[in-house]
Amino acid sequence: MDPIVKFVRANSDELRRGNRTIREIFDVIFRNEDNIMAETPTASGITEVTYGEAKKRIARAARNISRLGKRDEFIGLMGENSVEWLVGFWAILSSGNKPYLINLMQPDGFTADIMNTLGADTVVYTGREPKLKADLIALEGLEEGEPGEVPPEIFGNEIALTTSGTTLREKICIYTGNEITEQIINCDSIIDANPDIKAFYHGRLKMLMFLPLYHIFGLEAAYLWFAFGNVTFVFLPSYTPEAIMHAIRRCEVTHIFAVPLFWHTVEKSVMREVRAKGDKTYKKFMKGLELSEKLQAAFPKLGKKLAARLMREVRSEVFGDSVIFCITGGSYIRSSALRLVNCLGYALYNGYGMSELGITSVELSKNIKDRLKGSIGKPFESIGYDLAEDGRLLVRGSSICRRVIVDGEEEQADEWFDTGDVMHKDADGRYYIDGRMSDVVVSDNGENLNPDVAERALDIPGASGFTVLGDEKNEKLVLIVSMPRTLVDVQREKLAADVEKSVAALPLSYRISRVYYTCDPLMEEGGIKVSRDAVRRKLASGEIALFDSAADAGGSVGSIDSEIKAILVKIFARVLDIKEEDVRPDAHFMNELGGSSLDYFTLIGEIDKRFEVRLTFGEDEFAYTLNEFAAMLEKLLKKL
């Protein structure tokens, strides 16, 4: 038997025989103290923390929390993903208390209401001090002194977290050691279904800690499943695209679990780079994707290796060769993004879960044909699925949350939890998300229209976000397109043309009655999906301003020529550290404006970033003056 499989099976059996407490989970996770628990890339290298080192830090912090005189109370935990966050999480539990995982995306007033409901008056935080009316304790101060052991009988056995916050309802999910144990020991059947989930690269399995730990997806799937196997977690020093890609390559990350927004960004970045290299390269790339899909479909294991070789040039600019297993979840993923990532040789699987349920299923087929269908797989061992007459997914099981508090009142748990998600099941027992029941639009002829069907069919690469929802009478479909404020006229014209083309390709029954544009974000900063309820709420309050055309939404500073040049003047001046009025349109960047070779490369990078293009120069193409760059950009932007 594979050593990692043997290790996980032994740990699972131990939990099954025990009392199913969080203390027992802690003991299993921190038993092998020499293993590397965390890596964080820094400017000077990689900082490592072993499980043993973390355990000592937890013990110190737990002892100091105990000295506060708190026992069996909820204590807020606030901060970005970090080793410190994990120390605080386990320290609160080790002190005999219960952590409330504060969602950083929710308003402070909402957090205060949750704390009041839980009877919590203390917050342990990492990083910047929060603005909350509570006893605020920096974790750094709790780690001082000598470690002290907390008796196992007082170890906390509950964890509270909130739903994603896309509605104004106050909903708290409280998990006990029993439900968490049931979730974790699903690992056995998951590994049986797809052994690739425990695959190593150069002898190590490393999970990227991208998903917030205060979300159920991050806590359960990215952390608890893998902490149970004593793997290494790679933490990010920042969440810029550059920092994420650097961490993946530098630390040789093997596993990436992320929301669709992440994968859509990867797709957009790859396709932009490929298109910038010309039609010949684009056609070659698309043929490569087609061949990769065929190879993996015919020979799942060998085909994946051949696909990696076939796409090695693009892979070197994406994640490199270490990434083996990926999961997407939280909302629907575009089929084009699912196909691209899989055809690059990075196996990407679609999963399902909710704050009230935990993670309940994931597509685990090793065959790319099954992965590209977009199913959420079959329910885990601890879970049962059923479909109501109208297609709503009903879920029950030993691992779902049994305590849910809504607006201060504890709800009585039914045997079956109604997810509100409309699904269908195929002949193989796989489930597919069709949409949310609350989003269904009833047309004037009585036909039920699911906005998700339209959204999935739309392809609008220049948009920063878009959503399809019902009009004021909920009888017709409307499309709202969010776009960056920084787009120049030619980019707005291209965006409008892409919208028109994409909308025209929709089935007749899903005809969009009206298209609106906005420069306001449709999704909360740091959010994982667009909530139609939240969009409607913002429309009503005026937080989202709608316009009938892309040009009106973005405004205009004049002709394309003057608009691009106005932006280039600022970039030239910033790179050269000179006044804007000193940047003459026909002045040579080096000979007349005093730029160096290094300045020139910096200029190219700034222009690429600002206009989301990739400037390339052939034998007969060059640009040294502002006018020359403007002409090149105008030609390139019209072509994209």
217: in domain: no
Instruction: Dihedral sign for Cα 352, 358, 361, 362, please.
Output: positive
Long-range contacts, 393-396 (Cβ 8 Å, 24+): 393/419, 393/421, 393/422, 393/423, 393/431, 394/418, 394/419, 395/357, 395/360, 395/419
What is the tens place of the pLDDT at every residue in 513-541?
Answer: 899 999 888 887 666 678 888 888 888 88
The reply to whether 149 and 175 lie within a common domain is yes
- Which pLDDT band, with edges at 50, 70 and 90, does 411 fall under? confident
Once rounded to an integer, what is the mean pLDDT over residues 219-246? 92
Task: Provide the 10 A C-beta neighbour count for residue 580.
Answer: 11
Number of domains in the chain: 4
Indicate the pLDDT class of residue 565, thresholds 50, 70 and 90.
confident
How far is 262 from 69, CA to CA, in rounded Å? Answer: 43
Q: Tell me the C-alpha distance between 358 and 352, whole Å.
A: 9
Identify the pLDDT of residue 559.
38
Q: Are 263 and 332 in contact (CB under 8 A)?
A: no
CA distance 85 to 223: 12
pLDDT at 561: 53
| Of the candidates 633, 589, 627, the residue with the CA atom closest to the CA atom of residue 613 | 633
Both 263 and 176 in one domain: the answer is no
- For the segment 347-359, the average pLDDT, to the nearest whole number, is 95
Give the pLDDT confidence of 109-146 residue by residue, as tens digits: 889 999 999 999 999 999 989 889 999 999 988 988 77
Helical spans, DSSP H, in 236-278: 241-250, 260-276
CATH assignment at residue 623: 1.10.1200.10
Q: Are residues 141 and 23 in the same domain?
A: yes
Percentage of the chain lying above the pLDDT 70 cut:
94
**Inter-CA distances, 83 with 50, 89, 184, 198, Å:** 10, 10, 21, 22
Assess if residue 250 is contained within a domain: yes
Mean pLDDT, range 41-53, rounded to an integer = 94
Domain assignment present for residue 613? The answer is yes
For residue 214, being part of any structural domain is answered with no
Cα(574)–Cα(579) distance, rounded to whole angstroms? 8
**What's the pLDDT at 273?**
85
453-468 pLDDT tens trace: 888 888 888 888 899 9
User: Among 497, 531, 554, where does a domain finish?
Assistant: 554
| Residues 97 and 57 both lie in one domain | yes
Tokens of 288: 């490569």
- 180-222 confidence digits (pLDDT tens): 999 999 998 999 999 999 889 999 999 999 999 999 999 999 9
Q: For the residues 540-557, what does the mean pLDDT come to?
A: 76
Residues 468 and 600 in one domain: no
pTM for the model stands at: 0.81
Residues 6 or more apart whose Cβ sits within 8 Å of residue 125 = 76, 77, 78, 79, 136, 137, 138, 139
- Tell whether 73 and 147 lie within a shared domain: yes
**Residue 566 pLDDT > 60:** yes
DSSP summary character for residue 246: H
pLDDT of residue 640: 63
Angle, CA of 344, 345 and 351, to the nearest 5°: 100
Who contacts 262 (Cβ-Cβ below 8 Å, separation ≥6)?
210, 256, 328
pLDDT at residue 556, rounded to an integer: 43
Which long-range CB contacts under 8 A does 581-585 form with residues at least 24 apart? 583/626, 584/626, 585/625, 585/626, 585/627, 585/630
Range of the domain at 594: 560-639
CA–CA distance, 343 with 496 (Å, rounded to integer):
30
Backbone φ and ψ of 575, nearest 5°: -65, -40
Same domain, 143 and 10: yes
* Alpha-carbon separation of residue 570 from 180, 231, 288, 484, 581 (angstroms): 54, 47, 40, 18, 10
Q: What is the pLDDT of residue 115?
A: 95
Cβ neighbours of 131 (radius 10 Å): 7
- Residue 213 pLDDT: 96
For CA atoms 612, 614, 620, 622, give the dihedral sign: positive
Question: Do residues 481 and 515 both lie within one domain?
Answer: yes
Residue 560 is predicted with a pLDDT of 39
C-beta separation of 449 from 421 below 8 A: no
- Alpha carbons 51 and 34: distance in angstroms, whole number: 6
- In 95-240, alpha helices (H): 108-118, 139-142, 177-184, 187-193, 216, 225-227
Residue 567 lies in a domain: yes
C-alpha span between 86 and 26 (Å, rounded):
12
- Note whether residue 376 is domain-resident: yes
- 550 and 568 inside one domain: no
* Residue 340 sits in the same domain as residue 422: yes
Name the 3-class secondary structure at 433.
strand
468 plus 601 within the same structural domain: no
Query: What does the alpha-carbon distance between residue 146 and residue 396 come to, in Å, rounded to a whole number?
Result: 45
Q: What would the mean pLDDT of 274-287 be, rounded to a whole number?
A: 89
**What CATH number does residue 449 fall under?**
3.30.300.30
The phi and psi torsions of 209 (rounded to 5 degrees) equal: -85, 70
DSSP for residue 201: B
Cβ-Cβ contacts under 8 Å for 18 (sequence gap 6 or more): 24
d(CA 305, CA 307): 5
Structure tokens at 73: 């109370």
Any idea what the CATH number is for the domain that residue 247 is in? 3.40.50.12780
Q: Who's near 524: CB < 8 A, 6+ residues apart?
A: 105, 165, 534
**Confidence category of residue 489, pLDDT binned at 50, 70, 90:** confident
Lookup result for tokens 């007459």: 389
Range in 312-316, 319-323, 486-490 with the lowest mean pLDDT = 486-490
Q: Are residues 489 and 633 in the same domain?
A: no
In the prediction, which pLDDT does 328 show? 95
Do 485 and 519 contact (CB within 8 A), yes or no? Answer: yes
549 within domain boundaries: yes
What's the pLDDT band for 484 if we cut at 50, 70, 90? confident
pLDDT in tens, 74-91: 999 999 999 999 999 999
φ/ψ of residue 245, rounded to 5: -65, -40
Is residue 264 predicted with pLDDT exceeding 50? yes
Whether residue 375 is contained in a domain is answered as yes
Average pLDDT, the chain: 89
Query: What's the CATH code of the domain at 152?
Result: 3.40.50.980
